Structure 1
Amino acid sequence: FLSSTQLNKMNFSSSKTYFFLFFTLAIASRLILAQNCGCSSDLCCSRWGYCGTGNDYCGEGCQGGPCFSTTPTNNNNGVSVSDVVTDAFFNGIADQAASNCEGKGFYTRERFFEALQSYSNFGTVGSSDDSKREIAAFFAHVTHETGHMCYINEINGPSGDYCDETNTEYPCVSGKNYYGRGPIQLSWNFNYGPAGQSIGFDGLNDPDIVGRDGVISFKTALWYWMNNCHSLITSGQGFGPTIRAINGQIECDGGNPQTVARRIEYYTQYCQQLGVDTGDNLTC
């Protein structure tokens, strides 16, 4: 706190300056830096990755939570996500899965758009080409991760160890498994924990809900995307960095060139369908 003497010495020029100082201090006191912007369901994730309320958090650039936008699938660039992700586009992916796939009837366009209401910046930032590239990139990864929306749960997932015991903020719960689930195959306790906080479910005690609830499942994919991939593709860094953000430790830098090639193939295919070029930096 500043003493009255100190304040006098600072010789503020107008009442507006006093107000600005007060407002800045008030906002600063409310800042909550979140790992991966894992905000609770009642807070907005700002463009800078902070959790809070008010226009600075829920206004322009809001990435998730109760953003002020009343039209989450539209933005000033004129792109409507629903016009891009048409029935034909979505079902063109999902229909390639076999009829006995667990994802049949789980991954639906309706559930995707219900989940999208919480992520107003998806597919609506930058130019119209940027928007289409982001949509193509997201669904390219979904296609690869789920086998054209066939799989909900990771193959042999329960046999894997996805508990990072060094992470004390989101400690593993005994008997719970944090293997890949959902469109992006959310994995690890340090992702389930903050995803649950942001979306509104207990990710550590009930990770299985990502495989039971289709809307929550899509929300986890969008949550991960908005916090780790969105700015990469919309800033023009290219598709390659999104591969690194999703599974780079295993696939990139020569780790598994075949899977990288498949992701690029899907991305290129979807860009062609949406009438946009792929941009540069496709690989990792």
Structure 2
Amino acid sequence: MWSWCMLQPMGFLWQRAEYCGDGCREGPCVLRNPTPSTPRPGNGVPIRNLVTQEFFNGIINQASSSCAGKIFYSRSAFLEALNFYPKFGTGGKSSEDTKREVAAFFARVTHETGHFCYIEEIVKATYCEQEATEWPCNSEKQYYGRGSIQITWNYNYGPAGQSIGFDGLNAPETVANDPVIAFRTAFWFWMNNVHSRIISRQGFASTIRAINGGECDGGNTPAVNARVGYYTKYCNQLGVSPGDDLYC
């Protein structure tokens, strides 16, 4: 699901531009939060009131009954993971910003997992960036996409695990074994790389550039169209306009 490209330095790590896009980073090293925080309403709109069981079912019910994710992902796991990220859906100027962030998040999740069908990436690879020396790869492990946002690369697994409280480098499979961790890694990546773009109203196109920049400017037009399609669909369901700058 992730594109290979030429290495270029970004900060103290080396990132693959087409994987991340402009401004992407692996995220800060933060202390593990041992207990969930109390989720705050997103600008007066509680997230759980937006992500209803009906909304969630509308996505996962489109996956085949044979899909592994069908019995793995759940709204309850999403909400439990959300408890650790009270700033998700907040910080914007209005409830519309909250709804757009929810729509953008689930547009990403829908596309990456095939409507919650896949727990792991279909085409697996090692995805070890040797230049990311702070997060050395375990030669017996692979850091391919796993979880609801398909977190990939050692320089994401390492800090995500440190933040959440699991060994991302030596046990990356944890993301595919624990549905709450599968959502928590998605939130971790989102809050470090995408959230600020939503609340500053940079448009949905900026979220694609942040995560899959290689798809932009003709890199993978069908994928961009699919992401925008999901986003506008969820915005309509949540009763908010998708805003401008949808396509990158």
TM-score (norm 1): 0.76
- Determine if contact 1:81/1:124 at 8 Å carries over to the other structure: no
CA contact (8 A) 1:80 1:124 kept: no
Which amino acid letter does the alignment assign opposite residue 58 of structure 2? G
Separation (CA, whole Å) in 1 of partners of 2:193 and 2:105: 12
Give how far 1:35 is off: 5.3
Q: 1:137, 1:267 within 8 Å by CA — same for their partners in 2?
A: yes
The answer for the alignment partner of 1:26 in structure 2 is: none
Tell me the equivalent position of 2:239.
275
CA distance in 2, matches of 1:276, 1:221: 23
User: Cα deviations across residues 19-39 of structure 1 (Å, max 9, x unaligned)?
Assistant: xxxxxxxxxxxxxxx951231
Q: What amino acid sits opposite 2:118 in the alignment?
A: Y
Q: Does 1:123 align with 2:89?
A: yes
Give the 3-state SS of the residue equivalent to 1:150 in structure 2. Answer: coil
Q: How does 1:126-137 map to 2 (within 5 A)?
A: 126=92, 127-137=94-104
**Contact 2:26 2:156 (C-alpha < 8 Å) held by counterparts:** no
Cα distance, 1:283 vs structure 2: 1.4
Whether the aligned pair in 2 keeps the contact of 1:79 and 1:128 (CA below 8 Å) is yes
Q: 1:73, 1:116 within 8 Å by CA — same for their partners in 2?
A: no
What RMSD over aligned residues (CA atoms) do the two structures have, in Å? 1.5
CA drift at 1:66: 6.0
Deviation per CA, 1:166-187: give whole Å up to 9, x if none: 1100010111000000111000
Correspondence 1:179 to 2:144: yes
1:126-179 per-position Cα deviation (integer Å, ceiling 9, x unaligned): 21000000000000000000000000000021xx23000111000101110000
Alignment match, 1:82: 48
Kept in 1, the 8 Å contact 2:26–2:155? The answer is: no
Aligned to 1:38: 29
**TM-superposed deviation, 1:190:** 0.2
1:206 equivalent in alignment to 2:171: yes
Find the residue that maps to 2:226 and give its secondary structure. helix
Q: Residues 201-248 of structure 1: CA distance to partner in whole angstroms, max 9, x if unpaired?
A: 000000000000000010000000000000101110010111111111
The letter of the residue matching 1:262 is: A
The answer to whether the Cα contact below 8 Å between 2:128 and 2:153 also exists between their aligned partners in 1 is yes
C-alpha distance in 1 between matches for 2:146 and 2:160: 12
Structure 1 residue corresponding to 2:126, chosen from 142, 150, 161: 161
Letter in 1 for 2:165: G
What is the aligned partner in structure 1 of residue 16 from structure 2? none
| 1:73 Cα offset (Å) | 4.1
* Alignment partner of 2:77 out of 111, 114, 128: 111
- Give aligned-pair identity as a percent: 60
Structure 1 alignment gaps of length 5 or more: 1-33, 43-64
Q: CA deviation at 1:84?
A: 0.4
**Structure of greater relative contact order (alpha carbons < 8 Å, 6+ residues apart):** 2
8 Å Cα contact 1:123/1:134 also seen in 2: yes
Partner of 1:228: 193
Asked if the contact 2:148–2:182 (Cα under 8 Å) also holds between the matched residues in 1, the reply is yes
| 8 A Cα contact 1:94 1:149, kept in partner | yes
Whole-Å Cα distance in 2 between the matches of residues 79 and 37 of structure 1?
A: 28
From 228, 235, 244, the equivalent of 1:264 is 228
- Give 1 or 2 for the bigger CA radius of gyration: 1
The 1:170–1:278 alpha-carbon spacing in structure 2 relative to 1, beyond 3 Å, is same
Q: Please state how far the C-alpha of 1:252 moved relative to its aligned partner.
A: 1.3
Q: Which amino acid aligns with 1:165?
A: Q
